[in-house]
Structure 1
Amino acid sequence: MRQWPGILTPGLVNLHGNELLEEAYHPDPREADELGTEPLTGDALAALELDDARWGASARRGVQRMLAHGTVVAACEELRNRAVRDAVRRSGLGTMGRLGRPGGVPSLDPYASGWPVEFAQPREPGSAARFAFFDVPDEAALAERGAATCVATVVEGRLVYRRR
């Protein structure tokens, strides 16, 4: 039996799915010397030559970083990039529709976006488990310290992220 420190919550919903997955490039660790480690957007993104393979790899890294922040659902308008769509589908990360762009600042940590944090729907009998463990004593501490305190994320009953 596994034991995790802190609290168990339904996983988080990140309202900035398109911005984080289709409008940002998540550099490969091998590119860190040249591109850094943070997602690239705007002019820095426009300067890159991204084919489908690079977009797909970026989306996989972006999804993994979202899972590392307890996100189990990304709110998106239609995902237009096939490589991104495939990466999201294969990961098990849920998606939910949205109309227009949300306010706030796109961030891997939903608590840092400036908008109220949404949690995925609580599990119902027979539904797939989607939850996260955070190394904090309660939800007030989670709101204060943010989703970087995530120690494990479960999507569709599978452990998809575990902090080492």
Structure 2
Amino acid sequence: MLTLHAADLLIAVPGTDPVPGGAVVVDGDTVAALGPYEELAAAYPRARVRRWPGVITPGLRQWHGAYLLTRAYHPDPREYEELGDRPLTGERLAVLDMTGTRWAGSVRRGVQQMLRHGTTAVAIGSDPVVSTAVARSGLTVVSPLGAPGILLEEPNLDPFRNAYGLADAVASPLTVGGRADLAVFDVPDVPDAPDVPDALDEAALLEAGAGTCVATVLAGRLVHRRR
């Protein structure tokens, strides 16, 4: 089935001119077309249309996946009242009774949190529980080599916080014929942005953060949609 994802702005390749009112046509797990919504809607009249607020970008890459999935505990929603809803590390993690079952649940929830932050590729180690959960999710596994090298007091679920810019944060650009991994972020337009009238620029997106993600598409599948 063809799906046309449309938003206020499309940034298919970081560093190049964005497309106001842009869209991506997805055919199965592949990008079939990129460009202005009106042109693609006319060219693909039978495509199912999904309209999103904000900006479409390529899917993001989480450099610190190994840390976030093996050295941080992601609480179950039933534990929020006691533990909060943020990942626990260090001394807060050390006092928990971490059984194998509890760790496995944490890993699955951590993977889901990554998807909620627009992540489509992740660098992980050799932990078998992590490898299994990531494989089942469909996330692409990437090498940690080449990471931007930003030193954080605590690695963040937001890939924008782990990168110097959008080009560092994305897994790979959106290209026709390439895998349909993309994310959508609900960030307001920037009035009078240089060279892109009434459009959102990359700096505003990075400042707003990946917590504004409203949708993540992984190999053509809608794996996260903020309600």
Q: Work out whether 1:130 is the aligned partner of 2:178.
A: no
Question: Which deviates more from structure 2 when the two are superposed, residues 132-141 or residues 120-129?
Answer: 120-129
Output the TM-score relative to the length of structure 1.
Answer: 0.88
Distance in 1 (alpha carbons) for counterparts of 2:95 and 2:146: 26
Residue 121 of structure 1 aligns with which residue?
172
Runs of 4+ with deviation above 6 angstroms: none
Distance in 2 (alpha carbons) for counterparts of 1:69 and 1:147: 5
Residue 111 of structure 1 aligns with which residue?
160
Could you report, residue by residue, the CA deviation over 1:2-59 in whole angstroms, capped at 9, with x for unpaired residues?
A: 1111111101111111111111000001111222211011122222222332122111
Could you report, residue by residue, the CA deviation over 1:69-114 in whole angstroms, capped at 9, with x for unpaired residues?
A: 11111123x232x222211111112221114984332001122346
8 Å Cα contact 2:160-2:169 kept in structure 1: no
1:153 match: secondary structure: strand
Distance in 2 (alpha carbons) for counterparts of 1:16 and 1:157: 24
Residue 161 of structure 1 aligns with which residue?
224
Q: CA RMSD in A?
A: 2.0
Distance in 2 (alpha carbons) for counterparts of 1:43 and 1:63: 23
Question: Which deviates more from structure 2 when the two are superposed, residues 37-46 or residues 118-127?
Answer: 118-127
Query: 81, 91, 94: which one pairs with 2:140?
Result: 94
8 Å Cα contact 1:130-1:155 kept in structure 2: yes
Structure 1 gaps of 5+ residues are: none
1:39 match: secondary structure: coil
Q: Work out whether 1:37 is the aligned partner of 2:85.
A: yes
Q: Which has the larger radius of gyration?
A: 2
Q: How many pairs does the alignment contain?
A: 162
Distance in 2 (alpha carbons) for counterparts of 1:114 and 1:126: 27
Residue 79 of structure 1 aligns with which residue?
126
Residue 98 of structure 2 aligns with which residue?
50
2:57 match: secondary structure: strand
Amino acid at match of 1:95: V
Give aligned-pair identity as a percent: 52
